[in-house]
């Protein structure tokens, strides 16, 4: 068996960023923490912590932290007679930014764990799942990673939106290739291809858009409302602005549906069953079938 | 002089993630792009692009992209008689997440550039400024980086908030050390020390909080409203929930003020003057003096 006291030390260091903070959190001395980590590293023949500051986990270190979380979660699901009273387990999940900004938060009440959310804004969810750095993920990737199952959740509907003034200024002669190339688009980050995909569907060509990058969901929508550019905004986030006429679609009835999937490490599926049920229920209500 | 055609190619590759996309955006062949980059790398004796996929800039590569943006911005500020018509320049800025989620977006209308925002959620702004990877930054760091000037903008006021039910359940006997250790806190990420700082001010001791991590501003506030934990929320973001009684301070009149600063690369200050003026004006209205 692994040395779980050492894994607990490793986990606190990675979560708190220093040996000192981990020691204080566990109520032991920093030198006791150092020894546990050193012992674990020698036994495994691998470095587990980049000493920093801040101290961060190596790939193997992060994998072991995740393993500890999973064991704790499995212990917790043994039921109250068997599991030691150590407080809620941690659960590390990758969630895409727009889900986190819209339908996801309420499902966090379905499982008594401490959620450690990471935003998958660069298609890293696959790697994280494969390397075991997250227990589950919500992503637009349909293919399950080996060792994981993927459940379809439905689709988020996006529309290409802008203010009426922006549309009047940039798209007087319709949403043409020339107009799309000249009008500033708002993108989330360098990996966000939604705007280009929509432009390609409309014009039949891959266009090279220019504009602003705003890497947060609500500020992205606000930048569109401020008339800084056009952008793909989820319907659930733009409802009020559309109803009030502050935002309009560049083209009516040209939505883009992005299907989402719930990926779960197979070994974790039983412990996560209540969360999976809550996610499916909420997705059925909030996403398009 | 540097080869600016090669820098333009470098910039498009970094912003678009591939040689092919950069070639298409510039209307040249991928092999022309490759040659420009190779030539530049040979002349400088340094690798500028990690080939990927996706292609990403090395430290020096990113520094050069930033340099190109700055030259373009300076050209743009020469005025309409002198600057070549190449469309808006790009401006890379680091902004802390809570500013981006609250008062910052409207200032983006003050300067006709394409904003390329990066979120400083891990105190990276100093390094980015020092390495010249951003032209300016909004951060809570008071010390100017060499070559930059820092202007105080005022403070964001945070309160430790939770739902009335959460407070009744976890803080029946007041906000004691024991209660704070047991009640789940919500933190933004491993670097977010606001909750611990507030707990330390209240109890006089460094406590080791546990709870959830929600690395996005609006979802953070929503997690607090869902009763998942207590957390430090900016007053400007919690106004409505406080007025409606959905959120309450754990302790009345125990706010935490976080001063913010506008850091600008000195060479860029003239070109950024209209943005600086807009930021100062909006900060004067939205932040505390």
Preceding omega of B232 cis (within 30 degrees of 0): no
pLDDT at residue B180, as a whole number: 96
The stretch A37-44 carries a mean pLDDT of 91
- Phi and psi at B116, nearest 5°, equal -120, 95
- Which helix (DSSP H) or strand (DSSP E) does residue B280 occupy? helix B269-286
Q: Chain B: nearest CA to A26, how far in angstroms?
A: 9
pLDDT at residue B80, as a whole number: 58
For residue B253, is it within any domain?
Answer: yes
Structure tokens that stand for B185 in this block: 């806190």
Residue contact A219–B100, C-beta within 8 A: yes
Measured CA to CA in angstroms, residue A235 lies from A96, A160, A211, A213 at distances of 16, 10, 22, 20
Q: Which of B24, B101, B212 sits opposite A218 (nearest CB)?
A: B101
Residue A204: give its domain's CATH number: 3.40.190.10
Distance of CA A20 to the CA centre of its chain: 29
Q: Chain A: nearest CA to B209, how far in angstroms?
A: 8
Q: Which of B100, B191, B226 sits opposite A105 (nearest CB)?
A: B226
The stretch B176-186 carries a mean pLDDT of 95
Residue contact B114–A211, C-beta within 8 A: yes
Do residues B257 and B73 lie in contact, with contact meaning Cβ atoms separated by under 8 Å?
Answer: no
- DSSP state letter for A88: P
CA distance A267 to B93: 43
Q: Which of A97, A114, A190 sits opposite B216 (nearest CB)?
A: A97
Which of B208, B226, B227 is the best substitution to test chain A (most A C-beta atoms within 10 A)? B208
**Which chain B residue is nearest to residue A222, measuring alpha carbons?**
B105
Residue contact A216–B217, C-beta within 8 A: yes
Provide the greatest CA pair distance for chain B.
71
For residue A102, is it within any domain?
Answer: no
- Nearest by Cα to B65 from B92, B41, B86, B36: B92
Do residues B202 and B196 lie in contact, with contact meaning Cβ atoms separated by under 8 Å?
Answer: no
Contacts of A219 in chain B (CB under 8 A): 100-101, 104-105
Do residues A231 and A195 lie in contact, with contact meaning Cβ atoms separated by under 8 Å?
Answer: yes
**Whole-complex ipTM:** 0.84
Distance of CA A221 to the CA centre of its chain: 18
CA atoms within 13 A on the CB side of A93: 32
> Could you give the angle at the alpha carbon of B4 between the alpha carbons of A185 and B61, nearest 5°?
75
- B273: exposed, middle or buried (C-beta count within 10 Å: 0-12, 13-18, 19+)? middle
For residue B38, is it within any domain?
Answer: yes
pLDDT at position A80 over 60: no
pLDDT at residue A24, as a whole number: 87
The secondary structure of A144-165 as a DSSP string is: PPTTEEEEEEEEEEEEEEE-HH
B215-245 per-position pLDDT tens digit: 999 999 999 999 999 999 999 999 999 999 9
- Nearest by Cα to B288 from B153, B95, B195, B198: B153
Q: Chain A: nearest CA to B80, how far in angstroms?
A: 19
Q: Which of B21, B105, B213 sits opposite A219 (nearest CB)?
A: B105
The secondary structure of B138-196 as a DSSP string is: EES--SPPTTEEEEEEEEEEEEEEE-HHHHHHH-TT-S-HHHHHHSPEEESSTT--HHH
For residue B58, give every residue at least 6 positions away whose Cβ sits within 8 Å of its Cβ, in sequence order, or none.
B46, B47, B48, B49, B50
Q: Chain A: nearest CA to B118, how far in angstroms?
A: 7
For residue A91, is it within any domain?
Answer: no
- Give the domain-ending residue among B19, B40, B68: B68
pLDDT at residue B24, as a whole number: 87
pLDDT at residue A82, as a whole number: 59
> Could you give the angle at the alpha carbon of B68 between the alpha carbons of B45 and B132, nearest 5°?
75
pLDDT at position A35 over 80: yes
Residue that is written with structure tokens 């390397």 in the block:
A131
pLDDT at residue B51, as a whole number: 86
pLDDT band, very low/low/confident/very high, at A114 (cuts 50, 70, 90): very high
For residue B285, is it within any domain?
Answer: no
For residue B11, is it within any domain?
Answer: yes
Residue contact B191–A218, C-beta within 8 A: no
Residue contact A216–B101, C-beta within 8 A: yes
Give the count of beta carbons closer than 10 Å to the beta carbon of residue B251: 16
Lowest average pLDDT, out of B52-56, B138-142, B272-276, goes to B52-56
For residue A264, is it within any domain?
Answer: no
Residue contact B105–A15, C-beta within 8 A: no
Residue contact B117–A213, C-beta within 8 A: yes
Number of domains present in the structure of chain B: 2
Structure tokens that stand for B124 in this block: 């990276």
pLDDT at position B81 over 70: no
Q: Which of A119, A215, A228 sits opposite B109 (nearest CB)?
A: A228
Provide the greatest CA pair distance for chain A.
71
Q: Which of A117, A184, A226 sits opposite B114 (nearest CB)?
A: A184
- Give the domain-ending residue among B36, B68, B100: B68
For residue B207, is it within any domain?
Answer: yes
- Domain limits for position B38: 1-68
- Which helix (DSSP H) or strand (DSSP E) does residue B66 occupy? helix B59-76
Q: Chain B: nearest CA to A238, how far in angstroms?
A: 15
- Which helix (DSSP H) or strand (DSSP E) does residue B43 occupy? helix B30-44
Residue A11: give its domain's CATH number: 1.10.10.10
CA distance A261 to A155: 9
Residues of B with CB under 8 A from a CB of A: 14-17, 21, 24-25, 54, 87-88, 97, 100-101, 104-106, 108-109, 114-119, 184, 190-191, 206, 208, 210-219, 222-223, 226-228
Do residues A209 and A194 lie in contact, with contact meaning Cβ atoms separated by under 8 Å?
Answer: no
Residue that is written with structure tokens 């007679």 in the block:
A81
Q: Which residues pair with B114 in a beta bridge?
A: B90
- Between A and B, how many residue pairs show a Cβ–Cβ distance under 8 A? 112
């Amino acid at each position: 068996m692994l040395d779980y006291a050492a894994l607990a030390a490793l986990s606190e260091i990675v979560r708190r960023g220093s040996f000192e903070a981990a020691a204080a959190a566990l109520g032991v001395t920093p030198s006791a923490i150092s020894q546990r980590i050193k012992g674990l590293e020698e036994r495994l023949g691998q470095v587990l912590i980049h000493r920093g500051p801040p101290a961060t986990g190596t790939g193997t270190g992060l994998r072991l932290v995740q393993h500890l979380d999973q064991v704790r979660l499995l212990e917790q699901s043994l039921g109250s007679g068997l599991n030691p009273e150590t407080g809620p387990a941690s659960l590390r999940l990758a969630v895409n930014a727009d889900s986190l900004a819209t339908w996801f938060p309420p499902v966090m009440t379905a499982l008594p764990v401490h959620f450690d959310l990471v935003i998958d804004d660069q298609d890293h969810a696959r790697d994280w799942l494969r390397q075991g750095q997250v227990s589950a993920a919500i992503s637009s990737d349909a293919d399950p990673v080996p060792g994981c199952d993927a459940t379809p959740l439905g689709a988020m509907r996006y529309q290409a939106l802008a203010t009426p003034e922006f549309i009047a200024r940039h798209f007087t002669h319709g949403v043409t290739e020339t107009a799309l190339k000249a009008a500033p688009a708002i993108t989330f980050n360098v990996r966000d291809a939604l705007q280009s995909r929509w432009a390609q569907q409309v014009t039949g060509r891959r266009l090279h858009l220019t504009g602003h990058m705003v890497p947060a969901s609500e500020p992205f929508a606000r930048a569109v409302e401020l008339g800084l550019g056009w952008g793909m905004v989820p319907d659930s986030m733009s409802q009020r602005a559309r109803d009030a006429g502050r935002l309009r679609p560049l083209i009516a009835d040209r939505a883009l549906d992005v299907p989402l999937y719930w990926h779960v490490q197979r070994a974790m599926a039983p412990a996560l069953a209540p969360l999976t049920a809550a996610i499916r229920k909420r997705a059925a209500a909030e996403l398009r079938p």
